[in-house]
A and B are shown apart, each in its own frame.
Chain A
């Protein structure tokens, strides 16, 4: 029988990557660098920004993510474990009724999704969520 592993166990490429890419410092620092480029090194506080993402991705190739922060002029979204972490930057004008955005992103493996908001007063806010990318298969 010519079953490949892919077909048998529903493994995305993400899962193969998982074994070898755990805790890659290079990618984490890519995200840190990108964040520093936005904030210019200013202090970032937690809270005041909502990031909604599934705890476990149903499909790592298209993961719905939603961000909102009242009073934000800009919200940047990062997938810290992807080869290219920058996902999107939402910009809001003074007349924007809702400072929120949503999109779907591809996640290479289990990782933190990070959102950074630049507020009207020039301060920065941060939220992050761990999204697990898994083989699955044995629900009770």
Chain B
């Protein structure tokens, strides 16, 4: 028998296009001439079923810049395993040339200079073009949205997700699962989901009071595609009421519930499913672990942790596909399904180079219509980055956007210490670029954006840091929540990621005095995105805007305040 591994046929979309080049010397024109839409979309249609995966768009309707992480530490069994490989190691692992389009799309190195050459990425009008081209060769291809779609921008916030719903509906997805959507509040989520023209799936979305499945979010749906009976099972983000404010959706309970996942797989198989696809918002390491425990899933389309992988990862007989974030990538997975089982696949992670892919004019018009009422607000320039200053967030510890937000909290809220959530969304800003109000909202927008100010003892601060660190560095992926470390301003610390909870964080230091944090002393702490009901304070985007407006040009000191050990 031929093993599935023999059928492993993947291609790195852009790496295959052309060869090496040096660092940095990119002119936009050159990049455009070398990269063409045809080459980006080139794909020998394979087998009989096609899946199209988009995930974690975070309401980015328009093209943006997005720097991939330089620090992404794996722990326990995942130490050094993808997606915990970055920069030069990542490029070496996948045979990506320095300075190439794939290097720009998939790794952080030389980001700002490559960005000036290759331009912005994403834009749902471009995504639409890619989807249309796949459907031209495979009319019944399934489009599956992994969630975190109705959150993350000025217009999404002001329309309570309606702008994203309108534009996504035009792309005609077949099914979707969820995470940040629930932070719109359960009433609003229910209202949207009731009107959705496609399936809203989540085998782990339960009624909190009775701990039983809901009617609004069925566990799976069957599709007929290429003559194959396909079952798509949804898996929403398991830790919604813990990582986000549960009081906004008290009727719902989540969890990994892998026993029920197994039941659902067995159920769809017994009903004749020839291909079982899990549309997941678990996060990559959780999906890997689940794939090892639950048997019978052919494909996991993985979301939440924002990883972009040029090849699927194989666990037993399951392939796991990770498709990035912020509209930057679309994954196409073609499958050969015969005699009731998956015999082979071909996969391509397609980077959405916005200057190369022609926008779908209908969707472009629809996007502009969503933005039209807000254009003046969106486009107002608040400040500018210095000629050597990039703003980005993604990474296990503070990015420069976070440093700026923490600076804003400390100065605007007159605090000693700032805490900022380790979310993985938020596009980047290049050196010498205007910072508009839209840019600020892209990294701060949420339904619980109050910037609080409070007193905390040193001991309590330590508990907070330890607690969040365990959400990221617990060696068992089922105990990880998929965010990055809480960002800090005004303090430094040492973290040993190999230690258990309670002993990872040491040497906490108040930067302005150079003194160690005293467990019994009280400090003024400002932060935002508290999950607790009744948090008071100005909105974080107003705090950041006021700070940037005062600064004018943004230039940050390098942040060396977190010492990481054991990575």
| Residues of A near any B CB (own CB < 8 A) | 1, 3-10, 15-16, 18-19, 22, 52, 54-59, 64, 110, 130, 132, 134-140
Q: Are B255 and A55 closer than 8 Å at their CB atoms?
A: yes
Q: Is the CB of B211 within 8 A of A140?
A: no
Write out the residue numbers on chain B whose beta carbons fall within 8 Å of the beta carbon of A132: 470, 479
Q: Answer whether residue B364 sits at the interface, using C-beta atoms and an 8 A cutoff.
A: no
Using A9-B464, A55-B478 as known contacts, say yes or no to A136 and B242 having CB atoms under 8 A apart. yes
Give the chain A neighbours of B532 by CB distance below 8 A.
Answer: 6-10
Q: In the complex, what residues of B have CB within 8 A of residue A110's CB?
A: 501
Give the residues in chain B near A8, CB-CB below 8 Å: 452, 454, 527, 530, 532, 535
20 A-B pairs whose Cβ atoms sit less than 8 Å apart in the complex: A7-B532, A8-B452, A9-B531, A15-B463, A19-B462, A55-B256, A56-B239, A58-B242, A59-B241, A134-B242, A136-B531, A137-B531, A138-B243, A138-B421, A138-B423, A138-B481, A138-B484, A139-B239, A140-B306, A140-B424
Q: When the two chains form their complex, are residues B306 and A5 in contact, meaning their CB atoms are under 8 A apart? A: no
Query: Is B195 at the interface (CB under 8 A from chain A)?
Result: no
The verdict on B323 contacting chain A, using a C-beta distance below 8 Å, is: no
CB–CB B529/A137 < 8 A = yes
Q: Which among B211, B253, B483, B534 is the interface contact of A139 at CB below 8 angstroms?
A: B483
Which residues in A have their C-beta under 8 angstroms from that of B244? 139
B488 within 8 A of A: no
Interface centre among A55, A137, A140 (most CB of B within 10 A): A140
Q: Given the known A-B contacts A1-B536, A8-B452, A56-B242, are A135 and B467 also in contact in the complex, defined by CB atoms under 8 Å? A: yes
Q: Is the CB of B481 within 8 A of A56?
A: yes
> Is the pair A139, B240 in contact by a Cβ cutoff of 8 Å?
yes
Min C-beta distance of A57 to chain B, whole Å = 8
Q: Are A138 and B468 in contact (CB under 8 A)?
A: yes
Indicate which residue in B305, B454, B502, B530 contacts A137 across the interface (CB closer than 8 Å): B530
Please report the total number of B residues contacting A with Cβ < 8 Å. 61
Set B476, B479, B482, B536: member contacting A3, Cβ < 8 A: B536
Contact status B255-A58, CB under 8 Å: yes
Known interface pairs A1-B453, A135-B464, A140-B484; A56-B253 also in contact (CB < 8 Å): no
Q: Check B422 against A140 for contact (C-beta < 8 Å).
A: yes
B425 interface residue (CB < 8 Å to A): yes
User: Whole-angstrom distance from the CB of B178 to the nearest CB of chain A?
Assistant: 12
Give the contacting residue for B243; candidates A3, A22, A59, A137; CB below 8 A: A137
CA distance A15 to B462 in the complex (A): 12
Contacts of A5 in B (CB 8 A): 454-456, 460
Q: From residue 297 to 315 of chain B, which have CB atoms closer than 8 A to chain A?
A: 304-306
Within 8 A of A (CB), among B531-554: 531-537
Q: Closest A-chain residue to B206, C-beta based?
A: A64
A137–B483 Cα distance when bound, in Å, is 9
Measured in the bound complex, the distance between the Cα atoms of B463 and A39 in whole Å is 38
Q: Which residue from chain A places its CB closest to the CB of B525 in the assembled complex?
A: A8
> Which residues from B are CB-within-8-Å of A59?
241, 246
Q: Contact partner of B479 among A7, A9, A55, CB < 8 A?
A: A55
Chain A proximity mask over B480-491: 1 for CB below 8 Å, otherwise 0: 011110100000
Q: A58-B246, A139-B243 are in contact. List 6 more A-B contacts (CB 8 A).
A: A15-B463, A19-B459, A56-B481, A136-B243, A137-B421, A139-B179
B389 at the interface (CB under 8 A from A): no
Cα A59 to Cα B245 with chains together (Å): 12
**Which residue of A19, A52, A58, A64 contacts B463 across the interface (Cβ within 8 Å)?**
A19
Inter-chain contacts of A4 with B (CB < 8 A): 454
Rounded to whole angstroms, the CA-CA distance of A57 and B211 in the bound complex is 13
- Is B353 in contact with chain A by the CB < 8 A criterion? no
In this complex, what residue of A is CB-closest to B463? A19
A59 to B208, CA, bound (A): 11
Q: Which residues of A contact B390 (CB under 8 A)?
A: none
Determine the chain A residues whose CB is within 8 A of the CB of B238 once the complex forms: 55
B254 at the interface (CB under 8 A from A): yes
Closest to B459 in A: A19
Q: B177 at the A/B interface (Cβ < 8 Å)? A: no
Given known contacts A8-B532, A136-B243, is B179 in contact with A52 (CB within 8 Å)?
A: no
B220 at the interface (CB under 8 A from A): no
